[in-house]
Amino acid sequence: MKNNLPLKLALLLTVFIFSGCAVMDKNIPDWTQYRVPDKTNELELASWSTGTGEPVLLIHGFGASSYSWRYIVEPLAQKNRVITIDLKGFGDSPKPRDDAYSVYEQARLVRNFILENDLKNLHVVGHSYGGGVALAVSIYLANSNPGLQKSLVLIDSVAYPQELPGFVKILATPVLGPLITYAVPNTFQVKDLLQKVYFNDDLIPQEAVDHYAADLGKPDAKYALLTSARQMLPTDLQQFSDNYASLTIPALIVWSREDEIVPLAVGKRLHENLPNSKLVIMSDVGHAVQEEKPSLLLPHLRSFLEAVSHHPAITP
C-alpha cells in the first residue's frame, strides 16, 4: 500500500486540476442519420446465447462486457433464450480505430444484430451506458421494424443530458485521459472504478477486477474506451429524448437510490416519460445491481418478463 500512495496523491491532484476540462466530440451524426437500417462499415459483435423461449438481449454498460451479466444469464435462461453481446470496443468485440463509438452507432450495430438473427418477441435489457444504447435501439426498432420488440428493461440508465461522472470527465480530458489510461496499471483503474460502482466495496470480487483489467489490456481497448468517453453524450440527446414518450412497449425501470453515477432523478424522469413503465427503486446497492446484488434484481426481472410474455408484441 505504501508504494501506491504517491501515485494516488498524484492522481488526486491531477483530477482536482483537470476534471472540469473534458472535451466532448461535437461531430457525432445525429440520431436521425441512423433511423433506416444499413450495413455501412459493418462489424460482427461478439455474442453468446443459451436457453430457449422468447429472446432476452442483455446490453452491458460503459467499460464492461457480457461478463457483467454472469449472475443473471443462467437464472433467466430457465424460461428464455438469453443473449449477451459485447458492444463495439468492449470485451471480445472488434475495436476499430474509426472514431465511431457514439450511443447511436452502438445502437445501429445492435439493431442490425437483432435483424440479422431474426429476433422476434424480443426483450431488451440495458444497464447504464448500455441502457442508453437500449433506448436508442428501441426507438430505431419502433421506427423501422415495429412489432419485433416486446419489452424494455433499463437499469440505472443514461437517458438525458447530465453532469458526466468524474471518471468519464477524466477520460474525456485531452492529455490527462490518455495519460492515466495508458500509464496507470489496469487493475488500479478497474478497482477505482468498481469502488464508485459498488455501494459496498467489500463485495467487489477480485475475479471481476482481474477480468475487466484483462479486457482493458486487449489491443486498442484503451482507444475504444477514450473515444467512447468523448462521445458519451451526443449534442442532440435532449432532442432524441423527446422520442421516449412514443415508446408504448412495457418498460421496467430499475434504479439504485444510492447511485453515484446516474442519479435517481433520471430514473424518475424516465418513468414519467415512458408511458407504459414501472419504476423499482432499490436501497443499499450501487450503480450495478446485477453484479453487486443480483438476488435483488432477479425477482423483478423474472416477474416482469413473465407478465409481458403473456401478451402479444405491440404492432402498428
Q: Per the domain annotation, does 225 fall within a domain? A: no
Q: Quick one: pLDDT at residue 19?
A: 47
Query: Which of 238, 307, 234 has the alpha carbon at shortest distance from 273?
Result: 238
Q: Could you tell me the three cell numbers for 117? A: 438473427
Q: How far apart are CA 27 and CA 47, in angstroms?
A: 29
Q: Give the number of residues written for the chain.
A: 316
Q: Do 64 and 89 meet the contact criterion of CB atoms below 8 Å apart?
A: no
How does residue 10 score in pLDDT terms, banded at 50, 70 and 90? low
Q: How far is residue 282's CA from residue 72's CA, in Å, rounded to a whole number?
A: 17
Residue 188 lies in a domain: no
Residue 48: name the closest of 74, 26, 28, 27 by CA: 74
- Segment 38-59, tens digit of pLDDT: 777 689 999 999 999 999 999 9
In a domain, 157, yes or no: yes
Checking if the pLDDT of 36 tops 80, the result is no
Residue 175 lies in a domain: no
Q: pLDDT, tens digit, for every residue of 287-316?
A: 999 999 999 999 999 999 999 987 655 433
Q: Tell whether the torsion through CA atoms of 294, 59, 174 and 189 is positive or negative.
A: positive
Which helix (H) or strand (E) element contains residue 279? strand 277-282
Domain that holds residue 58: 41-163+232-309
Asked whether residue 116 is assigned to any structural domain, the reply reads yes
From residue 301, give the alpha-carbon distance in Å to each of 248, 297, 306: 19, 6, 8
pLDDT given at position 312: 58
Q: What is the pTM of this model?
A: 0.91
Could you give the CA distance from residue 102 to residue 98 in angstroms, rounded to a whole number?
11
Give the separation between CA 200 and CA 298, rounded to whole angstroms.
19
Count how many domains the chain has.
1
Q: pLDDT of 243-289, one tens digit each?
A: 999 999 999 999 999 999 999 999 999 999 999 999 999 999 999 99
Residue 160 pLDDT: 94
The answer as to whether 69 is a domain residue is yes
In a domain, 251, yes or no: yes
Q: For the purposes of burial, counting CB atoms within 10 Å of the CB of 16, is it exposed (0-12), middle (13-18) or buried (19 or more)?
A: exposed
- The grid coordinates listed for 290 are 446485477
Q: What is the overall mean pLDDT for the chain?
A: 90
Taking only the tens place, the pLDDT of each residue in 204-223 is 999 999 999 999 999 999 99
Over the stretch 106-155, which tens digit does the pLDDT of each residue have?
Answer: 999 999 999 999 999 999 999 999 999 999 999 999 988 999 999 999 99
| pLDDT (0 to 100) of residue 22 | 76
Over 80: is that where the pLDDT of 4 sits?
no
Are 146 and 119 in contact by the 8 Å Cβ rule? The answer is: no
Per-residue pLDDT at 310: 74
pLDDT score of 173 more than 80: yes
Instruction: Check: CB of residue 7 under 8 Å from CB of residue 184.
Output: yes
One-letter amino acid at 73 equals: V
CATH number at residue 147: 3.40.50.1820
The pLDDT assigned to 229 comes to 93
Going across the sheet that includes 277-282, the strands are 47-50, 81-85, 55-59, 122-127, 149-155, 251-256, 277-282
Is residue 68 a part of any domain in this protein? yes
| HEC per residue, 165-226 | CHHHHHHCCCCHHHHHHHHCCHHHHHHHHHHHHCCCHHHCCHHHHHHHHHHHCCCCHHHHHH
Q: What percent of the chain has pLDDT over 90?
A: 75
